[in-house]
Amino acid sequence: MTTFPHAPGFVAGERPQIVTERFQYEDSYTLERYRATGGYEGLRKALQQPSSAVHEEVKSATILGRGGAGFPAGTKWGLTPQGVWPRYLVVNGDESEPGTYKDRLLMERDPHQLIEGCLIACYAAGLSQCFLYIRGEMALAQERVAAALNEAYAAGLVGRNVMGSSFSVDVVLHWGAGAYVVGEETALIESLEGNRGMPRLKPPYFPAAIGLYGKPTIVNNVETLSNLPWLMRNGSAAYTAIGTKTSPGTRMVAVSGHVKRPGVYEIVNGTTTFRDLLYGEEFCKGIRNGNALKAFVPGGGSAPWFTADQLDLPFEASQVGPAGSMLGSGAVMVMDETTDIPAAALTLTNFYAHESCGKCTPCREGGTWLQRILTRVVNGDGTTEDLAQLVEVGSMICPGNFPHASSERLGLAAVPFPYKMTTICFVGPSAYAPVHSALTLFPEEFAARVKHRRTIPVTAVGAPA
């Protein structure tokens, strides 16, 4: 268990490391260190095989997308329509889901690993140009990736005839300008085309069919691509030997909030449980001040909440889904017994209401309604009708039963993930998720809020003459 001042938040341990291997070195972002530690060997191995063999290798490793949806990378690459070129690769480095902190570390600490991953993907899937889209607010990540690209171009590793081979591809660095919704893949493409970053109507469901400039486009997350160099160096058998059959490999998880040691951990996929993560000595070491756990968000701000009842679930989508939530982007936010639940939910609803792009009415209006009503409740000015109104507005964004965790304390059974939605993307439902979780799992806190109203309604009527 070690931390490094140069990699703020990252905690290493006695566990298999795939993407964070080099974080121990202060100069891990330089080409020199990268090469000295096996860098670009995966690419060399890839180029020594036909591209179809590389694609097969990635398919058999079942690398689940780490951006949120968990779709296997190799399968996604195969969804492009036959015979249509050019095809593009767009790298999603827009990391801004509340609680998520991993892609930025990968870009700041190991930019060459990401670049190598991009090249392997382009080679395997026959992609003609790559755009590496970094979130606007990440100045250091932009600098590190720019410097790494410059080094790699100069060393003949990117661009014309990579490593002297017949494979040529450019990687163009691009960055955004602050908008959460741009992380949604079709919005990312709109943004890259120079437009307002609004998600596109579905179908087509995958930009693999129609993407950037209307051409087949693969969108992959930074962490997903960062797995490829190790995979090509060590083979898919070594990769699938870690984790479980359905969730092989590792994943980076950021645990924040009221734990003794918040941090970013590379954990073994599928087997590590939330209890290990929150209480384990090699992880977060328990709740701060020895307090009791009240609730936690298991997969980024969009995910329905869990309580202590779900601690023994592993990081495995097939188990977290039926339990009423999702793993999302590898972000756990922990609330101890001192947390004011309605106020905590409000911070997330504020976020999603603020980030709505305004394209769908239920999200644009509903998010704002949720935000206003919840603000009133949190401030102590809410009524019982307000609580009903929250659910009513929520049901217009997500009709039917909204997923939630079971609760022994309340005698509740779980409602499995996912939900139905009336919006184009998940921003709308995400504004409701924290409200619904908080109301369902902690109804007494809301009841108390509306019972002890802070103010007496006053009608401003002029005094009679």
Partner 1 sequence: MSRLSDDNVKLSREIIARYPRPKSALVPLLHLAQEQDGYVTREAMVHIGELIGVTSAEVYGTASFYEMFRFEPVGKYLINICGTMSCALMGAHELMHRAEEKLGVKAGGTTSDGLITLAHAECQAACTEAPCLQVNYRYRYRVTPEQVEQLIDDLRAGRLAEEIPSHGTLARVRQSVSAERFVGAVSPDVEAAQPSWLAGKAAL
Ligand X SMILES: Cc1cc2nc3c(=O)[nH]c(=O)nc-3n(C[C@H](O)[C@H](O)[C@H](O)COP(=O)(O)O)c2cc1C
How far, in Å, CA of 78 to CA of 45, rounded? 21
- Could you give the string, one character per residue 224-263, with x where binding to ligand X holds by CB under 6 A and - elsewhere? x---------------------------------------
Closest approach of partner 1 to the CB of residue 243, in Å:
22
- For 22-40, letters b (16+ CB in 10 Å) and e give bbbbeebbbbebbeebebb
Closest approach of ligand SF4 to the CB of residue 359, in Å:
4
CA distances from 283 to 58, 257, 259, 277, 328 (A): 30, 14, 10, 5, 20
Please list every residue from 147 through 186 that binds ligand SF4, using CB under 6 A: 181
Per DSSP bridges, beta strands 250-257 and 331-336 are: parallel
The tokens for 391 are 């659910």
Kindly calculate the radius of gyration of the chain based on its CA atoms and give it in whole angstroms.
23
Give 101's DSSP letter: -
Q: Applying CB under 6 A, does 356 fall inside the site for ligand SF4?
A: yes
Q: Applying CB under 8 A, does 48 fall inside the site for partner 1?
A: yes
Determine the 3-state secondary structure of 266 from DSSP: strand
- Binding part of the chain for ligand SF4, among 20-28, 189-197, 245-253, 353-361 by CB under 6 A, reads 353-361
Residues in the chain: 465
- Could you give the string, one character per residue 419-458, with x where binding to ligand X holds by CB under 6 A and - elsewhere? ------xxx-------------------------------
92 binds, among ligand X, ligand SF4, partner 1, none (CB under 5 to 8 A by kind): ligand X
- Could you give the string, one character per residue 171-190, with x where binding to partner 1 holds by CB under 8 A and - elsewhere? -xxxxxxxxx----------
Closest approach of ligand SF4 to the CB of residue 398, in Å:
11
Q: Taking the alpha carbons of 267, 251, 112, 6 in that order, is the dihedral positive or negative?
A: negative
Per DSSP bridges, beta strands 293-297 and 263-268 are: unpaired
Going by C-alpha positions, the residue among 452, 448, 408, 391 that lies closest to residue 309 is 408
Residue among 39, 65, 216, 342 that touches ligand X (CB under 6 A): 65
Closest approach of ligand X to the CB of residue 446, in Å:
27
62 binds, among partner 1, ligand SF4, ligand X, none (CB under 5 to 8 A by kind): none
Please list every residue from 92 through 121 that binds ligand X, using CB under 6 A: 92, 94-97
Q: Applying CB under 6 A, does 66 fall inside the site for ligand X?
A: yes
How far, in Å, CA of 262 to CA of 427, rounded? 26
Q: Applying CB under 6 A, does 330 fall inside the site for ligand X?
A: no
For the chain, how many helices (H) and strands (E)?
17, 10
Q: Applying CB under 6 A, does 364 fall inside the site for ligand SF4?
A: yes
How far, in Å, CA of 20 to CA of 304, rounded? 28
* Residue showing the smallest CB distance to ligand SF4 in the complex: 363
Residue among 22, 66, 104, 109 that touches partner 1 (CB under 8 A): 104
359 binds, among partner 1, ligand X, ligand SF4, none (CB under 5 to 8 A by kind): ligand SF4
Q: Applying CB under 6 A, does 359 fall inside the site for ligand SF4?
A: yes
Q: Applying CB under 6 A, does 184 fall inside the site for ligand X?
A: yes
Q: Find all residues with CB under 8 Å of 112, minimum gap 6, and list them.
A: 29, 31, 34, 39, 40, 148, 151, 152
Give contact residues for ligand SF4 (rule: CB under 6 A): 181, 198-199, 356-360, 363-364, 423-425, 427-428
